A and B are shown apart, each in its own frame.
Chain A
Amino acid sequence: MKTKLSAWKYVKNNKHACAVLITALGMSFMAMYVLYALLQTTVESFKPIMLELPKKISYALITGSSYGLDVNGYETYEELEADYDECQERLMESLKERPEISDAFYTQILMSMYQSVVGQFAFETPLIEPDMIPGFLDHFDAELVEGRMPSGDGEMLVDETIMKNAGYSLGGYFMENWYGETFKIVGVISSKYLISVGTPMGYSNSGWYMVILGDESVSDLSAVLREEGIAVKDSDVIYDAVHYAETYRKDVYETIHSVVDTILLVIMIILTILVMVSYVSFMRNRVSEYCLYASIGFSRYEIYGMILREMMILFGLSCIAGFTVSIIVSALMKYLVVIPRGLTGYIFYGEQVFKIISIFLFIIGMLQIPVLICISRIRTIDAVEK
């Protein structure tokens, strides 16, 4: 068996220097991973509200012209309003006849805020009469887990996750900073859609909308409305699954990933420069050793092989250390920060691990430049002694 220059001996006998490099690379791994995990919390947390909830409920605010009304042709506003209401009633009755739609009604809504680690999302909470609430909850497979059903004006049922997220308590007030002590939380509900609902209370609301309760086939409400003869225009407000899926893709997923990718790029550039500088210094300190190997008959290829194996050991250990610390920090973050705030996050993100390993492989690739320059400059001892 032909002996190879041992790569492990350097690592084993230079524990301090190697530990510094492994720690630095491992911490960089962790920084890149934890940053992603933190920002990804927003991406994961907004999914139920932006992608799942709109599959069950849509909101529409349709202008008179879309109903075919000549809004300028009325002498009084009351006449226009009467015709508008009639068109709206007719549309809702027609919608309710469709098998994919379980209910359609015109009601007030409140805006609710869902706060993630980075960013917040405002979504609609309908205000309906107390007798409609049981049917409404059934539509979302929601159940009352604490408190009671609303029976009077200005009473709210809030999802348990939203309760945690907003720091509400039973008996407290919903969106108090917006609406004051108006909408009292009387019950806590649980469903996978994070839905909340309440009863109206005078004019403290965020407007009136047509609310359509349906199944997933109503994802594109504009298409459904066109089928009903409504000439949907850009001026109409349609909050359906298609709208929220697009908003989620552009404003959440792509924004977050673009921020993460930019940060990763900056870290990668800085890390590459730092590692290259330290590796050059590290190899300079070992020139005599490489010259000795060349003098006693080891080829440059064998010396290069040893350097490469050392590099792989150091980066491999850095990945193991970085990954281990990342998982521990992510788990702590999940249980101490994410879950208590009613957010969703995971401990393991394979895609990010793959990205970080790719960055490390890129750095290893870049390191071949100084390594090959060093290898090409290796001389035998006679040149060193001269």
Chain B
Amino acid sequence: MFQVNNLSMIYDVNTDSKTYALKGIDLSLPDKGLIGIIGPSGSGKSTLMYCLSTLKEPTEGSIVYNDIEITGVTGSERERLRRREFGFIFQKHYLVPYMSALDNVMVASVDGRSDTVAKASGLLTELGLSEKEFSKKPAKLSGGQCQRIAIARAMINDPKVLFADEPTASLDHANAFNVMSMLKKYSEERLVIVITHDRSILKDADRVIEIWDGEISK
């Protein structure tokens, strides 16, 4: 699904003190499966995810996604990919504070189908939220609940690739296990890329990529 060749991300590219966030990454990712990208803070794992998901444009190299060279596509094509093909779980939940839990999930829906409410409700239920919490706003929910709403939002369009940046960071052990089970289940049909520095959540990963100082070490 993804073919990454010689990918580099350099900050301060026009100065003498160039900083490599990513350095010459070569990578091939399948159509489905749970892929873990692990590394310490500042290792470049989030930058790699942002490059793969079109949020960041790399300095060098190419990323081919389903035969599309995404480093060279237009802004609207990037938006289309992010809207229709990719799903995102960010480090922080970034929920819209004035919307209910259910609306926060539905806001990302691509099509205004009548079953969107049912689908969003189903996802929230699967993620452990009770029906009475659907109408609550983020300020009335715990950090863990908010993160689960963000996960449901990422899944609402059945994206082909689900990017998850520290998806369990704000969850307790039981909920973290539950979320990873959901992601594992989702990865049976789709590609799930999980960025973490916590190796324990990647025990069911199909592949773990370790990044160190912007380079794949393993």
Binding site for B on A (CB under 8 A): 1-3, 5-6, 9-10, 13-14, 288-289, 291-293, 295-299, 380-382, 385
Task: Tell me the bound Cα distance from A95 to B109 in angstroms.
Answer: 87
Is the CB–CB distance between B112 and A292 below 8 Å?
Answer: no
The residue that A381 contacts in the complex, of B55, B107, B112, with Cβ under 8 A, is: B55
Number of A-B contacts defined by CB within 8 Å: 64
Residue of A nearest to B96 (CB): A289
Min CB gap A289→B, angstroms: 5
Task: Tell me the bound Cα distance from A299 to B77 in angstroms.
Answer: 10
Is the CB–CB distance between B83 and A382 below 8 Å?
Answer: no
Given A3-B111, A3-B112, A9-B103 contact (CB < 8 Å): yes
Is the CB–CB distance between B55 and A295 below 8 Å?
Answer: yes
Is the CB–CB distance between A10 and B83 below 8 Å?
Answer: no
Is the CB–CB distance between A295 and B88 below 8 Å?
Answer: yes
Question: Is residue B81 within 8 Å, beta carbon to beta carbon, of the partner chain?
Answer: yes
Question: Is residue B98 within 8 Å, beta carbon to beta carbon, of the partner chain?
Answer: yes
Q: Mark B3-44, 1 if CB is under 8 A from A, else 0.
A: 000000000000000000000000000000000000000000
Is the CB–CB distance between B98 and A295 below 8 Å?
Answer: no
How many residues of chain B get a CB closer than 8 Å to chain A's CBs? 33
The residue that A297 contacts in the complex, of B84, B103, B112, with Cβ under 8 A, is: B84
Question: Is residue B137 within 8 Å, beta carbon to beta carbon, of the partner chain?
Answer: yes
Is the CB–CB distance between A296 and B92 below 8 Å?
Answer: no
Min CB gap A360→B, angstroms: 24
Task: Tell me the bound Cα distance from A356 to B203 in angstroms.
Answer: 66
Task: Tell me the bound Cα distance from A103 to B112 in angstroms.
Answer: 81
Question: Is residue B127 within 8 Å, beta carbon to beta carbon, of the partner chain?
Answer: no
Task: Tell me the bound Cα distance from A363 to B90 in angstroms.
Answer: 37
The prevalent SS among residues of B at the interface is: loop
Question: Is residue B134 within 8 Å, beta carbon to beta carbon, of the partner chain?
Answer: no
Given A3-B111, A289-B96, A381-B90, A297-B82 contact (CB < 8 Å): yes
Question: Is residue B130 within 8 Å, beta carbon to beta carbon, of the partner chain?
Answer: no
Task: Tell me the bound Cα distance from A291 to B108 in angstroms.
Answer: 13
Question: Is residue B207 within 8 Å, beta carbon to beta carbon, of the partner chain?
Answer: no
Question: CB within 8 Å of A: which of B61-103?
Answer: 75-76, 79-84, 86, 88, 90-92, 94, 96-100, 103
Is the CB–CB distance between A297 and B94 below 8 Å?
Answer: no
Question: Is residue B110 within 8 Å, beta carbon to beta carbon, of the partner chain?
Answer: yes
Is the CB–CB distance between A299 and B76 below 8 Å?
Answer: yes
Is the CB–CB distance between A13 and B98 below 8 Å?
Answer: yes
Question: Is residue B46 within 8 Å, beta carbon to beta carbon, of the partner chain?
Answer: yes
Residue of A nearest to B47 (CB): A382
**In the complex, what residues of A have CB within 8 A of residue B109's CB?**
3
Is the CB–CB distance between B82 and A9 below 8 Å?
Answer: no
The residue that A382 contacts in the complex, of B50, B98, B153, with Cβ under 8 A, is: B50
Question: Is residue B199 within 8 Å, beta carbon to beta carbon, of the partner chain?
Answer: no
The residue that B98 contacts in the complex, of A9, A291, A299, with Cβ under 8 A, is: A9
Residue of B nearest to A14 (CB): B98
Question: Is residue B56 within 8 Å, beta carbon to beta carbon, of the partner chain?
Answer: yes
- 13 extra A-B contacts, CB within 8 A, seeds A297-B79, A298-B79: A2-B110, A9-B98, A9-B99, A9-B103, A13-B99, A288-B94, A289-B96, A291-B94, A295-B90, A295-B94, A299-B75, A380-B50, A385-B91
Task: Tell me the bound Cα distance from A291 to B111 in angstroms.
Answer: 21
**In the complex, what residues of A have CB within 8 A of residue B81's CB?**
297
Min CB gap B195→A, angstroms: 12
**In the complex, what residues of B have CB within 8 A of residue A382's CB?**
46, 50, 55-56
Given A2-B111, A3-B110, A5-B107, A295-B82 contact (CB < 8 Å): yes
